[in-house]
Amino acid sequence: MFAVIKNNVITQFIKPGQQLIIDGFDWGYNWAEYVDRDALGIKEVAETQEPDQRFYWVSSDIRLVGANPMRVHTAQPKALAQLKEQHLAETKRQANSRLAATDWMVIRKAERGIEISADVAAERARILDDCAAKEAAITVASTVEELILALNPPAPQLTAIDLTAGTAMTV
């Protein structure tokens, strides 16, 4: 998206492929291919990172920052208690969904005493442990930022081995 700027004021917004009319002169629909943007005061709108709308009420506005048009976002955190309730329910739903494929084995063990394989039991325990850890992290979050971090923990650092030099480095 582009902004037409005159006297440090944005007078209009335009996209390539839209008809451009400035001061009564029609530059047509393919103006982006041939006009001198600087001479006409046309500048591309800089896009900034929009806050995650799952956690914030976001409003956006395009304004001049210095001499350049920029999309500026204003974010208001959503209610933490409701977010926590929503994400606790989603965490449980995801765990239940992952456990569903082997639930019949648990029922078979309870009804007929047929053992669950060690691999399946270990995987089910891992799923339940992961769910409990995530629920605990959600529960103790005291800000929206802490909740976001609890839901999206940083990726672990990996160690790469340079086989040619025989050295390891963290990436």
> Has residue 163 got a pLDDT over 80?
no
> Has residue 171 got a pLDDT over 70?
no
The dihedral of CA 73, 151, 171, 163: what is its sign? negative
Q: Write out pLDDT tens, residues 98-140.
A: 999 999 999 999 999 999 999 999 999 999 999 999 999 999 9
- Give the pLDDT score at 94: 97
Beta strands in 23-79 (DSSP E): 25-28, 42-44, 56-65, 68-77
- Give the pLDDT score at 155: 72
- Give the pLDDT score at 160: 60
Identify residue 26 by its one-letter amino acid code: D
Q: Six-digit token pair at 111?
A: 């009804």
